Each structure stands twice: as C-alpha cells, then as structure tokens.
Structure 1
Amino acid sequence: MPTPSSLRRSALVVLVALVLAACTPAPRHQATAPTSGAASASEGVDPALAPFYEQQLEWKVCGSQQCAEATVPLDWSQPEGETITLALRRVPATGDPVGSLLLNPGGPGHSAIDFLPSFQQLVSAQVRAAYDLVAFDPRGVGVSSPVTCVEPAELDALTAWVPDFGTDEGIAEAVRRNAEFGQACLERTGPLLGHVDTASAARDMDVLRAVLGDDALTYLGYSYGTDLGATYAALFPERVGRLVLDGALDPTLDSGEVAAGQAAGFESALRAYVADCQAASGCPLRGDVDDGLAQVSELFDKIRANPMRTQTDRELTVSLAFSGVATPLYAQQSWPVLTQALTSAFAGDGTALLQLADQYYNRQPDGTYATNQNEAFTAILCLDDRAPAEPEAMRAEAEQIAAVAPTVGEFFSYGGAACADWPVPEVGALDSYAAEGAAPILVVGTTNDPATPYAWSQALADLLSSGVLLTYEGEGHTAYGRAGSCVQETVDAYLLTGAVPEEGARC
C-alpha cells in the first residue's frame, strides 16, 4: 500500500470562496482560440490510429448529465491490439458552446466523473455558458477500465498499517507487503496494470479532444491533473489550446524530491494552522506555535505506542491519525474541523480523526470504498517513477526530510518501499516538458499550498516554453474556484478570451 511519500489526491475539502482584494493583471498576449470541427480534429493522425480518432461518441442521458464511452488502445505502441474504454460525463454549455472544457481533479486516481458536480460549482457561470464541461476518468481510474486489487477489509488493514522502518527487517517487510499488494493488482487487473502511466493517459486525452470535435484542447487540471496536462502539452504542443494547470507538480522531480517538497509543504501548512488555532478561543494546543507543533508530535507518538479507541470497532493507528490531520490542511476553511478532531483526540477519542482519514481514503460508513482511487494511485505512480529502495539510501533521504519537516516528515519517508517490487516495469517520465510551440499555458500556484508547494508551480511555469504563472498568496491546495474574485476573473479571462496575465501577476 502506498506510503504518504507520494502525491495524494487533490479533492477540495470545501468549496467556499475567499473575499480578496481585487487584482487586475493586464493581458499580455492571446492563447489559441478553442474551435470545434470534427472534420479537422483528427488531421495529421497516424493512419493506424485513425479508428480511434474518428470514432463517434454515442451520448446518452444520465440523470442531469450526458454520458458516453470512448475506445483507446490498451498499449499505445500496439494500436491494433487490445482496447480499453474511457467513461465520459458531460454537462452541456448553458449558452452557445465554443468547445469542450476537459476536466481532471488530480490524484492520481481521483474520479473526474464523481467530481463533476463540484466542478460545476468551481467553474464560473460565464465559463459554464461558453463550454461543455466534460469529465473523464483516466485509464485505470473509476469506471474507465479500472485497476482492481483487494477487498475493502484488506484495504482497511493496509491503510491502518504502521510499517517499522527502524530496522532492515522492517524495511524488508514493508517491501514484501507492498509487493503482495502489487501482485494482487496484477492478478485482478491483468495487462492493463502495465499501461496506466501518465503518458498513456495524456495520449488518450488527444483522442478525446478529437472525438469531441475540438481542434485544440481546452483543459482544467488540478494537482496531479497539472502533470497530466503538462504531459499532454509536451506530446501534442500543436494541439494546445487553453490549459489551466492549478496547484502544479514539477514533472522533472524524482520521488525523493517530491517527498521532501510535500513534507515541507504540510509542515508549513500545519504551522500556519497552529498559529491560527492558538489565536482563537477553544484551541487545544497550548503555548506558542513551536509548543503546539510539539504537542501534535507527542500525540502521534502516543498513538503509535497505543492505537486510540474510537466510537467504532476500528482503532486509530498513527498512520490513520496522520491522514486525519492532513486532510483538513488541504483547505483553510476546514481548519476548525481539525481543531474539533484534535480536541477529541487529546481527550482520548480518535473518532473524528478516523472519520477524516476515511474521507481521505474515500471510505464509506458501510466499510466499502466509493472508488478505486487508492489502488489506481499506487498503480500510476509506480509506473511513472520509482524511488531508490536500498535501506541506506532511504535512511539518508528520511534524515533530509526530517530536517525540513520535523513534525510530519516521518510520514513522507521510505517511499521507495512502495514500488520496489511492483510486478510490471516502470515506464518513466518524458525526456522534455518544454512543449515548444505550444500556445500560452496558465499555471496557478498558491504560496502555502501543502500538497503541491508553490515552488513547483514556479518550476512548471518556467519549464513550459509558453508557461505563464499566476500567484495566489494564501493557504490551501489549489486556487481557482475557491480563492476569490482575483483568481476567478483572471482564469476566466484566459478561458474565455485567451488573455494571459502579465509576468509576476499576484492575487
């Protein structure tokens, strides 16, 4: 089962917009206008791929949405071989549509189809009028030829499991248990397990662009969705229309750098939370900020030694406790929930933290899991990148992480154990993400984002030859749709007119 040393899902905990002072960055240059024309959408395609690019979607009514399925190759290097299906959901534009806005909420492994009602709230009325909102579950995710691994009870045991990384034997045990998990995934998923990498999913997106009738891709991706969008741009720069990449991942980072960056991000977010908590009444954390962080660390140590009781038949282990603490840090509006959960935990009741951990893992009250996001998360990341698994290398990395994140760093260490013996070969990242020749791409970064640190958005904007950075000065994971009018109006202007902000624009 994955350790928290890799990116987790990007679901926004709350959707409350902050009232901010307006910023008015002036347009610098224009992005390619979206167009819709099925006749030209598949021009220049390899004839071997033409059956995929020229397929006709059959849209059906699915409640308040429309649904369809698209077919893509299982293995893009063998387009005449097996195929898989991708599930799509669409909310038609409320006005005259200029094209489709393809959506991804992150993860990897989070279902865009499940998140579509939230997208309808995040995206402004003007954008909903101009675009058909189209959500799709990437290959291996949700209802798109999904990765399947274990039964819910086994997943419960894996998410609650507390590895012992203090000895070589403990590390070997972690490698073994993760390998068993991977083997279960292979047995239940079959050959698809070796083809759920990000580059394959990005190639799928180009088929979706074509079958939706768009000459250029218009896209909104959060968190891991920025990795997917950047990969698309690198593979198909001439097909880039208007891409919004919010809460960016730097795709050139290796797993160790991701772990260190994210650990520092959550440490910073936790520090900001503690300061905010102590400034209000009813905070269970005493003294100054350093004292408060020490009390959180002591709570983790106490739970590690003796799992905490809850008002369920499950105990709160320290692994679950960290997940419970991390979940409200994704959005500042959820900080009061963390205060309530910590207050209960300090009183010896871990129920609230367990509930937050269940939200993190998408576990439902009846013990089932709403989606396969946990299995898909591991399967995708183990194909994209594998950290060194030698004990000494992981120990050295853990020391570096602890130096930048003394409170939470332990939960981001020893990530190499997750994929050390994964049963299918690594695919790896692309050689370049410059996307030379692409139209302007808008990258949005939040200065104290815990899950995707601001430096990653800066790096991606520099990495993309046409990247333009919009900075939101604030807390929480991602910005568009929750961070007030300045971000909203700037991103809307880009999606609706192609206007990009001046260099150095901040909200």
Structure 2
Amino acid sequence: MKITRMACALGVLGLLAAGSGWASAADRDRVGWRACHDGLWCAGVEVPADWSRPRGDRIAVGLLKIPARGDRLGTLLLNPGGPGPSIRNFALPTYRDQFAELAERFDVVVFDPRGIGESGGVTCPGPNPVAVTPPLTEAGHASYTAANARFAADCAPATGSLRVNARQVAHDMEAVRVALGERRLNYFGNSYGTVYGQAYADLFGRNVGRMYLDSVLDHTRRDLADWTRPAAITAERNLHRLAAWCAEDPACALHGQDLVAVWDRVLARAPIPAPGTDGVDATAILAWAAGRIGNDRGWPALATGLAQADQGDATAMVRRGWLPDTSLARTALCSDFVFPDDYDSLKRVETGLRQTVAPRLGWATQAWNVSGHCSGLPRTGLHPPRPIHAHGLPPVLIANGDNDPLTPAEHGRRVAAQLPGARYLAVDGNHGLYLRGNRCVRDHVNHYLWTGGLPWAGARC
C-alpha cells in the first residue's frame, strides 16, 4: 500500500477539509484522468488514510471512468460490491458491457474501496485463513480464531494507520464528488456497495442527487439472530423451490424423485466417496449447496450433483482448490458488521436457526459465514450497524431479489423504511439484479437515474 505523509491537505481535498462542498465544472479535470483499459480513463483522488486524522497519512482512491456517449447528465459513481477490487475487471469487455446503458447518459465512475485494488490496496504477508465449515465446533472456532489473529498481526505493518470501514469510504465518496466538481452525488451501489450507500446517506444525505441500491445488505440492525434470520429462511425456501422446479422439469437430473428426500438421504449417508479424497462429509455437502442455492441458473448442476452423490459419487462436491486471499476484504467487512463472534454466541444463533426456521440448509449459511469470519480480528477502526438518519435525502430507489439469500429481500425493505420517500421495488429474482441484466429492473432504474421518476408504489418485476 502506498501511504504518504503530508504536512497539510493539498488541492481539492484541501478545499473539502476547509469546508467547501463543491468545486466548479471547470475544475473537473483536476483529478488528472489518463487513458486506460482500451478507451476508458483512470485517475486517483488523495484522501486521508484515516478521516479522523485528516492531516496524517494519505492514500489515493482509484477511479475508472466510462465516458458518457450521449447527452451527458453528469456523473454516476458506482461500486459493484465485494468488498473487493472492481477497476481491474474493466479490462474485460464483457464486464464493462454491463454498464453500457448507464453510460448512455452518465460518465460512469467506478471506485475501488480504500485499502483494496487500486485504492491503496494492501497485500498482506500471508493469506486469510480458510473458515471452517458448519456445523460450528468449539475446537474449529478456536483454531480459526487463532489463525485470524495471526493474519491480523502479520498484516498490521502493511496496514499502518489505514482504516477501511464504510464510514471512511463514505467520506472518500464525498471527496470524489468534490474532486469531480459535482453539486450532487448520483450513486449506484450493488451488494456491498449498498453498505457504502447507506453510510453516505447517513452522513451526506443533503448532497445526494439520485441513489439506486441493488441487493441491499442491511447495515442498520445490531442483533445477529435478527440479521441472519431472513437470509436463512430464504436459503431454506430455495431448497424447496428447487424441489418444485425439479418435479416439473424433465431436464432435472432428479425429475420424478422427491429432491428433499434425496437431500436428507445424501446428508445422512455422508461421508460419500470422491476421487482422491477420504470422502465428502456433511459439512462439505452443506458448504457446496449453500454456495449454489441462491442462483436459480445453477439449479441443473446442483440437482445433478445431488443425484450423483445419491448414487455414491460426490465428485461434484469436491472443492477445486483455494486461491489465497491476502487482501483486506474480510477486514473491511468485519469493520462494518460488528456482531458477537465468540463461540457461544455463534453456536446459539446457528442452533436457533436449525431448530426453528431453517432445519435443512439455511441454518448452515448464516451466522458463521458473516460474524464467524471476524473471530480473532482486533476490534479497531469499527463502524457498527446503526439506524440511518438521512437528513435532506431525496427519494432513493431500492431493489432486492425475493430469492436472494445473500442479501435477502427483508434487508432491502428494512433499509427502505428508514429512508424518507424511498421506493422499494420487489423483484422475483436472485442477487445483483441490474448487473445480471433483469430487463424490468433495468428499465425502472434507467428511468429513475435519468429523470428522477420512481416506479409506482407496489411495482414488481
């Protein structure tokens, strides 16, 4: 990570620190755009490594711009989620094409979150430890906690004074708005990008022009059981939706069978042989299914894997290797979602979900996968969930997929209820609605971002 220490804030950030909220259109080129990625533009905006110490170390927030092709309405700041690097993905034409419609009227400006990718990205000396699979055991939790603590200690010299929570990112977004000379910030946040949108609305609501949040991850609830329950219920419901689809579609590998009964049988008979392994146990089966149950497009492969496992071959469920993660992505998530991460608290939530609303699959997808990842990390630089106080915020458009266990619909509804005038668009879909090309969603979002016109109350895609 490149961090520099400066005696005072320079340039446009100096204006921001001094209280100026806007730079003129003539100053827009102050960010110093340069050609990159075959027809796109890249730049960086300097910001404090810690906004609570604005005269200390500094980093550069990386930006990428897709120039508007038609009559330009202004700039649309975008974060596709993660938290993770996005700018490097734009080297792929198939990735940038997802944003072509938005670029008809806007300069679409994408940013990497601080400490990640092009925004002073930190590469830690060793990888994040691999999380244990459910059900959670006390020994597994203790081992992972110790490994996570070692990761944090080893990475501390590279991290330095950098703070990576969403409140800090929201201040970066405001700095970008000023640097681009925009009176108001138009923003599109997808998935984890909605956490940044919530923080910006809370801190700088009066500076918002239009804001669209897709697949909202609720950053307003502090109770872990309450936060995880909607996602667990959705994952469990998806298992039964998969069974209903399989009963109707002859192409399903388990057509004519009770898929839920097959699921129960496969789990009961684990471990199941697989080439080159000692067998695939129930924890691996749960992790395999949990990673696929949220995407209807993956149902054929999921049903096929279950059918093969039922016949004694769990090859499809074998993990295909692991790419080491040396980034601060998990640290960023854990800075924002500050839930209890001790064994007793996590086990209590897991057991409660398993005994009540999600006995087959949903229980295994939630408490450990979020809060458990944070066990052992130091409790510094935190921005815990909190209600949104969005003073002066114009109407915001929010959409969540009814069948998305990663960011369940209830999360979107909860956030929309805290934003005066917000419009919630219900969608029969999964995760990343606009970016996956849902035509109904795209039409509503494009109309809103271009004109300010919201979908009618009760609209559904």
Give the superposition deviation at 1:187.
Answer: 4.5
Q: What stretches of structure 2 of length at least 5 have no aligned partner?
A: 1-11
**Alpha-carbon displacement from aligned partner over 1:196-229 (angstroms, at most 9, x marks no partner):** 1011011111111222222111111111211211
Relative distance call for 1:197 and 1:301 in structure 2 (3 A) is farther
Partner residue of 1:104 out of 74, 79, 87: 79
Distance 2:287 2:94 in 1: 22
- Counterpart residue number, 1:454: 409
Distance 2:212 2:200 in 1: 12
Contact 2:87/2:118 (8 A) holds in 1: no
Report the alpha carbon displacement of residue 438 of structure 1 after superposing the two structures with TM.
0.9
Matches for 1:38-49 after TM superposition, within 5 Å? 45-47=16-18
CA contact (8 A) 2:16 2:175 kept: no
Asked if the contact 1:299/1:346 (under 8 Å) is kept, the reply is yes
Corresponding position: 1:468 with 2:423: yes
| Corresponding position: 1:279 with 2:248 | yes
Task: Say whether the 8 Å CA contact 2:112–2:118 is kept in structure 1.
Answer: yes
Residues 275 and 190 from structure 1, CA distance in 2 versus in 1: closer, same or farther, beyond 3 angstroms?
A: farther
> Within the alignment, does 1:295 sit opposite 2:295 as a pair?
no
Distance 1:51 1:101, change over 3 A: closer
After the TM superposition, which segments of 4 or more aligned residues of structure 1 sit over 6 Å from their partners?
41-44, 48-55, 313-317
Matched, 1:262 2:231: yes
**TM-score for the superposition, normalised by structure 2:** 0.83
> How big is the shift at 1:78?
0.8
Amino acid corresponding to residue 230 of structure 2 in structure 1:
G
Say if 1:107 and 1:264 are closer, same or farther in 2 by CA, change over 3 A.
Answer: farther
Quote how far apart the aligned CAs of 1:73 are.
Answer: 0.5
Is residue 413 of structure 1 aligned with residue 367 of structure 2? Answer: yes
Query: How far apart, CA to CA, are the structure 2 residues paired with 1:433 and 1:389?
Result: 24
For structure 1, the residue ranges without an aligned partner over 5 or more in a row are 1-40
Percent identity over paired residues: 31
- What is the match of residue 6 of structure 2? none
Match 2:213 to one of 239, 245, 249: 245
2:58 to 83, 96, 99: 83
1:486 is aligned, of 440, 454, 457, to: 440
Of residues 94, 97, 113, the one that matches 1:138 is: 113
User: CA-to-partner distance for each residue in 1:96-152, whole Å, 9 max, x for gaps?
Assistant: 322121111222235354268556433463x3221112111101222322243355x
Deviation of the 1:457 alpha carbon? 1.2
Q: How does 1:4-15 map to 2 (within 5 A)?
A: none
Structure 2 residue aligned with 1:178? 148
Alignment of 1:303-318 (within 5 A): 305=271, 308-309=274-275
1:441 to 396, 415, 438: 396
Q: Which residue of 2 aligns with 1:499?
A: 453
Q: How many Å apart are 1:350 and its aligned residue? A: 4.9
Aligned equivalents of 1:145, 1:42: Cα separation in 2: 17
Aligned residue identity for 1:203: H
Shift of 1:322: 4.2
The count of corresponding residues between Structure 1 and Structure 2 is 441
Counterpart of 2:424, as a letter, is L
Taking structure 1 as reference, are residues 271 and 190 closer, same or farther at Cα in structure 2, changes over 3 Å only? Answer: farther
Given residue 145 of structure 2, which amino acid in structure 1 is its aligned partner? Answer: V
Partner of 2:329: 377
Structure 1 length normalisation: TM-score? 0.76
Q: Per-residue CA shift, 1:341-383, capped at 9, x if unaligned?
A: 444544555554457x76xxxx6xxxx56xx5x8433201221
Offset, 1:75: 0.6
What is the distance in 2 between the residues matched to 1:264 and 1:117?
Answer: 37
Q: 2:166 — aligned with what?
A: 198
- Larger RCO, structure (CA 8 Å, separation 6 or more): 1
Residues in 2 aligned to 1:413 and 1:307: alpha-carbon distance in whole angstroms: 29
Q: Give, in angstroms, the shift of residue 491 of structure 1.
A: 1.0
Separation in 1, partners of 2:386, 2:250: 52
Q: Which residue of 1 aligns with 2:339?
A: 387
CA distance 1:283–1:249, shift in 2 (3 Å) = same
Q: Deviations over 1:259-307 (max 9, x none)?
A: 332222222223222321332225344766xx4234335545655x467
Change in Cα spacing, 1:122 to 1:330, as seen in structure 2 (3 Å) is farther
Match of 2:204 in 1: 236
Q: Which of residues 113, 130, 136 in structure 2 aligns to 1:158?
A: 130
CA distance in 2, matches of 1:400, 1:340: 31
Deviations 1:42-61 (A, max 9, x none): 89843189999989212221
Aligned position for 1:11: none
CA 1:67–1:201: 2 relative to 1, 3 Å: same
Write the distance in 2 (CA, Å) between the matches of 1:339 and 1:481.
26
Tell me, in whole angstroms, the C-alpha distance in 2 between the residues paired with 1:148 and 1:351. Answer: 34
- The residue type equivalent to 2:360 in the other structure is T
What is aligned with 1:19? none
User: Does structure 2 conserve the Cα–Cα contact (< 8 Å) formed by 1:164 and 1:171?
Assistant: no
Q: Give the SS at the match of 1:183.
A: helix
Deviation at residue 433 of structure 1 after TM alignment: 1.0
In structure 2, the CA distance between the partners of 1:249 and 1:211, relative to structure 1 (3 Å rule), is: same
Q: Work out the CA distance in 1 between the residues paired with 2:330 and 2:269.
A: 29
Q: Which amino acid aligns with 2:34?
A: K
What letter is aligned with 1:205? M
Other-structure match for 1:22: none
Cα RMSD of the aligned pairs, angstroms, is 3.4
Q: What displacement does 1:448 show? A: 1.9
